[in-house]
Structure 1
């Protein structure tokens, strides 16, 4: 690919997501302009592309019907979600569930010669990957996620444009404040969680959020207490599902809520005119789970 294409392309990636933000950092360091979208709104990102320069997707992909429409416009897809597996075998597509979207973008940029490999970049991407895939030693990535959601992408880009850097004392103080606020948020929403079982062999929960917040912590706390699934309902009708090994979250969200993601962590969305009622959503999920699903 020529230098003009390398320095004036587009990168569509995951909005409001530390992994997507890390892919964007690697993309910007490679001369790509990021466009941030929700994973089920990639077409909206494509509509923002105003010229014929190359378009890359990282940490997001397209459904089969949209892929048929847009595939010739997209130069390369880098994703790690289960919902992207239908693209396996397509040219210029790399689906790797063992790595995060940020790591895939960084490795791709190095492979193409757009970005020099460095210990700082690798360290940042590994920290983010451990958090995004909830691997052991994910604590620093989790702290980055807290700060990213509080301070935004501009802060993240300013601080980590060249890869890993230690947190400053001021950021440490901010992090301590965020953790205190997080504990209160988690405790409040766990008290409000709706439990449902009704002939299922395990309990499932739904949590209606009154504001954006650390849904991962809420969900993982309930999972540790025995829940098989935790559905969080966000104020804008977006849904997030976290599960243990008894339920495939990606299949469930694809089937019921036009979403997808990973087997243990997936997202979806309710239609704007559908009431976000926790009990009715849990009943719908329970009916789906009562029917054996293909493995």
Structure 2
């Protein structure tokens, strides 16, 4: 019984580590389940530091799975984005950890190698010492520090810290959503940085751009176009939903930050998240792959 209690005490932490390394909640849960199987085979009384042991196991399993996933994602249809979640996998942890799971950061972490990503997550998000991380990844401390420095520099280059607080970002997201819903091209362009990009993940399951759209004008025109009824109907039909069903839009918490979630009959169909700098959206991320909607709370009226 003690072994189960110890593991359950650490489950939120393990989920948090695995999700940040992998970017998908399903894979994270698989890793945690495998960690449980390994934990169940050892004598917990012989483990001096259960937290360190379990984090090591979950991290190594996540790295192995990420290596395999990275190869599979090379054949993914279109751009691959992380799986959005309404509830953080580690909600029981400190509130400040929310910043390390924000969607835009997870997108940048996708550009790191599996080892770089693991080192960054374990040190920057969970403040594990380099001596521990070195044992996790099987490298010496000097090599581990070098991986961490390379990862930090890469993230800093691609991901400056937010200049807007969450309240300001929510206001901009609300204005952005309203402009999208109204097909207001001028309004959208006014909220986009000149070098704005839109990255869309439909996974080949829904009509979505296969390549990154660049520039405020092109991004605005695309978003204004998809708000038109004929495109919305085609999109809904591709999901097997009634094309006449109304689309419900709501700003809600996704990955610890504000996001626009579109749903039909209570079923989330699209998530829009913004990367906001100097009061404008520099990056727009649109997840429309139905396989990545399962971790979002139902929004709006459900089917009757």
TM-score by length of 2: 0.30
Greater fraction helix? 2
Greater Cα radius of gyration, structure 1 or 2: 2
